[in-house]
Structures are given as C-alpha cells and as structure tokens.
Amino acid sequence: MRHYTCLIDGEDVPAEGGRFAMCCPSDGKPFATVARGGKPEIDLAVAAARRALEHGAYGEMTATERGRVLSRMAEAVRDRHSALTELEAMDCGKPTRQAATDITCLARYLEFYSGAADKVHGPQIPFLKGWLVTGIREPHGVTAHIIPWNYPAQIFGRSVGAAIAMGNACVLKPAEDAGLSCLEVARMALDCGLPPGALNVVTGMGEEAGAALAAHPDIDFISFTGSPEVGTLIQKAAAERTIGCTLELGGKSAQLVFADADFDAALPIIANAIIQNAGQTCSAGSRVLIERSVFAAVTAELAERFRALRVGPHDRDLDLGPLINRQQEARIERFVELASDLELLAEGSCIPDLPVGGCYTKPRLYGPVPPDHPLAQEEVFGPILAAIPFECEAEAIAIANGTAYGLVAGVWTRDGARQLRVARRLEAGQVFVNGYGAGGGIELPFGGVKRSGHGREKGFEALYEFSQLKTIAINHG
C-alpha cells in the first residue's frame, strides 16, 4: 500500500493530523493512505508558495520558461499514461476507458497552457496627447485550488495549468475521496523543472485543510470546483479578504431535442452525457427536453439504450462504474424515492458478481417528468435522466432556463436559424449545438451562470481569470 504525504516546497511532508485511507470505490477496500493535512500544513504550503514567488527561482522565470515546464509535464504525463490511468480508475472508480480519457485530457491541458503561457498580451490604449498607456497581465500571486473527487486529473490540469502559465504559485487541496493523480503529477512536475514551492499539495478534509486554505490571510485568489453549498462558503471566505474567486458548481443541464433533429447522432450523445462517470459530473446532461410530436419515439429509443447499459467495477470497463461513496448512494436513493410517482421508462443493469463494499446504482430514464418535479429541478449527481416534453421553441427555452442552475446546454435541430436563436437565449455558460461534451473541450471556456457559479476555467479565458490587468500610463510629453 502506498503512503502519500503532502508536497510542500518540493518536500514530502507528513501531516500533524496523521493519515487516512483512500478506498477504491469499486470494492471499498483501502489501497493507499494520504496525509490528513490541516491548518499547520496549509500555513507551511502558503508560506512556501509565497517564498517561491518572491525569493525563489520561480518568481524569476519568464513566461516562456514556465511554458517549457508545462510542456515537459505534458510529456511526462503521456509517458506515464497507463500508470496514471490505472491510478485514476482505482481512485475514482471510473471505468478504465473513461480514466484514460481523463489522463489524455490532463496532458492536453498542460500542453495547451504550455503553448499559451507566453502568448498573453496586454493592450495598448489610446489616451491623451503625450501619453502612452499600456496594460500588463500580472499573476494574482498565491492561488488556492480546491477541487472535487469526480475529475481530479482533469481539474488539476485546467486549474493548475492555467495558474502556472500566468506565473501564480499554487496550493492545491484535493478532495478527501479521490485525488492521488494530483499528488503524482505534482511530484513529477519537480523533475520537469518546476521550482519547489511553485506547486504545493495538501490533502485533507474539507472542513479542515479546505477551510484553512480558503480562510488563509496570505492567498490572493481561490479557484473552487464543487458543490454550491461549499461554493457559497468559499465566496464568503474570499469576500472576508476582498480577493477574487472562480466557482464552478453544479448543474441541471438540458439537451433540447427538436422534431427535425438527427436522432441517430443525438441519442448516443444524450445517453452518454448522463452516464459518464456514473452521472457524477457537474456538466452531466441530466434533462432531455423533447418536442411533443417525437417524445414517444425518442424516449423509446433512449429506453432501449438505457436497457443495454451495464454497471460494474472500474476494471471491468463497462458503461458505468460505482458511485464514489455511501453519501452519494444515499443521495441517489433519495431521488429514486422522490421519483416513485413518475414512470420509469427504462433502467440498465448491474453485473451479477458485483464486489461487496462498492456502491452501485443503475442508470435510469424517467418520463414524462413535470418541469417542476425535484428530478427536473435538483442536481442528482447520479445517472438519472429526466425526459420532459415541450410544445414549442418558447416553451423549450422556458423549461431549460427554469432551474436555479446554468452550466451547459445542448440544442439538437437542423434548423440553422433556430440553432442560433435558441443558443443565444439559453442561460448557460456553454451551449453545444448538435453535440454535447464539456469534458473534452480543453480549449473551450467553461463555467456557469446563476447557481452554477461564476468565472471561467479552461481555454484561453482561464488565463485572464488567473491574472489581473495593471494599467501603466506614461506621460512622455
């Protein structure tokens, strides 16, 4: 069994709080331990990050040099692709193919931000006669990264990759349920030339290490991905010190299927968007809104797909793996109970020889679901798809926008004018037309509106989030 410590200032640091076990969601068995970091380790990590910026080699690096380090990290991840895939699959309980995609995405994030690091240019602004005004993009300083258990490798890549590209020194707090890939890659980064202290990782509980990090007086920015409840705490902690934060929270994302859609193209993607990572995905397409005239036909075909889905441990590499833990299982059971008044159109099946100790749930398709039903309003974070009929475009938009969330949306129609009209009216940070797949889009700015959060991660936009513009106005006469 591997024992991981915190990584602070390039050193392995055990935590005063001891250790706790990391269990594989497939069978509940411990396979590693991590440090139970808390305030003492967070204090050390933030101090190390500050030193790296102000007195260490890191603060002296040019953008090009940081880009080269990120490029070497991308290569190192590719070289260790299969080992990292195995670790991510076991840690998160993901089917191996899905974990492999995550590691590929991690390498792509690092590659993208390696190339972007020295291509962020500030403006030159016309002003009064005799003045030259320019803007330079500066890093925030020490950035805190608090990330969840569902996509640790990918979220590490998009968040830490962009922050380092801009020259921030990072303190990362992975989730208590999964995040070993972050520890591995942070250690690999040292061999790729990232100076000690530029990236520190403190594992631990949310209320201990996470809260200590969010409340630390010497951090300059917080990047948070997780639940709306904790996101609100993070924003309050940031407000206490008037620092900025990006919050990528949950979603109740809808895919709108009009009668003229290409169903053959749409249906596999609609099914995949809710079963990926057993539905434990912020951008899961958890509602499918279907024009009434084709509702029966589309749900019948979707039902057929759901019945073919199989659930099993990560190493069987089926359609769905286990849920991450018992709390998730209880949460999903509550929604299944709430759905007892609805018609269950189809469900998948678990393989017969499931390991004891894992938490498994079958993917389920319900419909027609009234738009105000909890299944159509609340984030389940599990493989449950609510099918909702609509009469016309205006009603489809109203239903799609009629939740507290606004992360991603999908529109399926062959009508070009409608594609743009609907996309513009949907309240979401990302809208896909005749497609859906926030996970894979390294280059695509991603984030929410309303209760899904604010700020944008991914793509070039994240570089602006992880920096601030300084305006320099020179009176040269």
Binding site for ligand ADP (CB under 6 A): 146-148, 173, 175-176, 206-207, 210-211, 214, 226-227, 230, 233
**What's the min distance (Å) between Cβ of 327 and ligand ADP?**
8
Angle of helix 81-92 relative to helix 152-165, nearest 10 degrees?
Answer: 120
| 240 belongs to the catalytic site | no
Query: Which CB atom, from 207 or from 443, has the smaller least distance to ligand ADP?
Result: 207
**What's the min distance (Å) between Cβ of 216 and ligand ADP?**
11
**What's the min distance (Å) between Cβ of 249 and ligand ADP?**
8
DSSP for 89-129 reads HHHHT--HHHHHHHHHHHHHHHHHHHHHTT-----EE--ST
Query: Which CB atom, from 244 or from 402, has the smaller least distance to ligand ADP?
Result: 244
Length of the chain: 477
| 248 belongs to the catalytic site | yes
Q: Which of 88, 111, 248, 378 is catalytic?
A: 248
Residue 320 is given by DSSP the state: B
**What's the min distance (Å) between Cβ of 105 and ligand ADP?**
18
Give me the sheet containing 244-248, strands edge to edge.
11-13, 6-8, 199-201, 169-173, 142-146, 221-225, 244-248, 453-454
Between CA 329 and CA 93 the distance in angstroms is 14
Query: Which CB atom, from 34 or from 267, has the smaller least distance to ligand ADP?
Result: 34
Strand 254-257 vs strand 408-412: parallel, antiparallel, or unpaired? parallel
**What's the min distance (Å) between Cβ of 101 and ligand ADP?**
20
Q: Which of 182, 282, 347, 465 is catalytic?
A: 282
The residue nearest ligand ADP at its CB is: 206
Within 353-475, strands assigned E span 364-366, 384-390, 408-412, 430-433, 453-454, 467-475
Between CA 191 and CA 7 the distance in angstroms is 14
Query: Which CB atom, from 155 or from 318, has the smaller least distance to ligand ADP?
Result: 155
Q: How far is CA 15 from the centre of its chain?
A: 27
Query: Which CB atom, from 165 or from 214, has the smaller least distance to ligand ADP?
Result: 214
Residues 6 or more apart whose CB falls under 8 angstroms from that of 419 comprise 411, 413, 433, 434
Q: How far is CA 308 from the centre of its chain?
A: 28
Query: Which CB atom, from 92 or from 320, has the smaller least distance to ligand ADP?
Result: 92
**What's the min distance (Å) between Cβ of 290 and ligand ADP?**
29
**What's the min distance (Å) between Cβ of 264 and ligand ADP?**
34
Strand 287-291 vs strand 254-257: parallel, antiparallel, or unpaired? parallel
Residues 6 or more apart whose CB falls under 8 angstroms from that of 129 comprise none
The answer to whether 203 touches 173, Cβ cutoff 8 Å, is yes
Between CA 257 and CA 294 the distance in angstroms is 9
Between CA 371 and CA 142 the distance in angstroms is 43
**What's the min distance (Å) between Cβ of 213 and ligand ADP?**
7
Query: Which CB atom, from 422 or from 438, has the smaller least distance to ligand ADP?
Result: 438
Between CA 132 and CA 11 the distance in angstroms is 46
Query: Which CB atom, from 324 or from 400, has the smaller least distance to ligand ADP?
Result: 324
Q: Please give the positions annotated as active site.
A: 248, 282
